Amino acid sequence: MTIDTQPIGKISTPYKEKFAIPRQPGLAKSAEGNITFFEGFNDPNYLRGIEQFSHLWLLFHFHQTADKGHSPLVRPPRLGGNQKLGVFATRSTFRPNGIGMSVVEFGAVSYQNNQLILTVKGMDLLDGTPIVDIKPYVPYADSIPQASGGIAQHSPELMTVTFTEQANSQLKQLEPRYPALGSLIREVLSQDPRPAYHKVTHPDKTYAMTLYDFNIQWQVINQQNVVLAIQII
C-alpha cells in the first residue's frame, strides 16, 4: 500500500541550517515563522476559525534528510550520542517516512496580494520546510500531565548566555529591524547546541550558526556561551 501526501505549503523561519535548531518546539519562543500556502490550499477558508486556538500542531517533512534513508537504531543527543534507541522511541529526523510533528504558538492570519499566510511562533523547523498538515492543539486531550517522558522527562539544563562588547554593539544596530534577535540568540544558545562529544574533545572551539541572514559566532568560556560576533552574511 502506498500513500500520496501533498504539501499544503512551506514555512519560512530564522533557521537557515540544521545546526543549532532547538531540538524541541517551544524552547525558543522568540522564533517566528510564516507558512505560505501552495496553489490549491491558498484559500482563507482553510483557516477559518483557527484564531480560536492558542497553539497548533504542524505536521511536516524532513526534506533535507529524507533522501539519506533511515536505520532502526539511532543515537539520541539526550544520551550523549553514545547509546542507541529504536528510531520509533526517539524524535530523530532520520525516519522511514520523514514525517515530523511540532506544537507551535498561533500568531496571526493574513491574506494579502492573493497569498494566504499563517504566522506561528516557537517552531523548531528549518527554513523552507514543507508543511503537510495543520491541526489545532486541544488542551484537554493533548496535555497529559502525568505522562512519562522516558529519556526526555525533564527539560534540559540551560546555559548562561552573554555578549561581548562587540556583539552587543552589533546587536543594537540590528534591533530596529530585528527586535527579537537578541532574545532568539539567547534562547537558542541557552540550549547548548554543541554536539555532545565536543563538550570534552573541543572545549575551546569557536562555533557559528546562521539565524536570518546573520552568522552568529560564539565560544564556551567558564561554562557560559559567549557571543563573540554577529555578522551579516
For 14-66, what is each residue's pLDDT tens digit?
A: 999 999 999 899 999 999 999 999 999 999 999 999 999 999 999 999 998 87
**Plot region of 130 (φ>0 → left; ψ -120 to 50 → alpha; else → beta):** beta
CATH code of 160-232, in short, is 3.30.2310.10
**Percentage of the chain lying above the pLDDT 70 cut:** 99
Q: What is the pLDDT of residue 176?
A: 95
Q: What is the pLDDT of residue 197?
A: 75
Q: What is the pLDDT of residue 79?
A: 84
Domain with CATH 2.40.30.70 in the chain: 9-142
Those residues of the chain that have pLDDT short of 50 are: none
Q: What is the pLDDT of residue 81?
A: 75
- 9-142, which class in CATH? mainly beta
> Residue 213, SS3?
coil
Instruction: HSE, CB side, 13 Å, CA atoms: give it for residue 41.
Output: 16
Question: To which H or E segment does residue 115 belong?
Answer: strand 115-121
pTM of the model: 0.92
Q: Across all residues in the chain, what is the average pLDDT? A: 94
Q: What is the pLDDT of residue 53?
A: 98
Q: Which long-range contacts (CB under 8 A, 24 or more apart) does 177-182 make?
A: 178/212, 180/30, 180/32, 181/211, 181/212, 181/214, 181/230
> Residue 9, SS3?
strand
Task: Identify whether the C-beta of residue 117 lies closer than 8 Å to the C-beta of residue 107.
Answer: no
Domain with CATH 3.30.2310.10 in the chain: 160-232
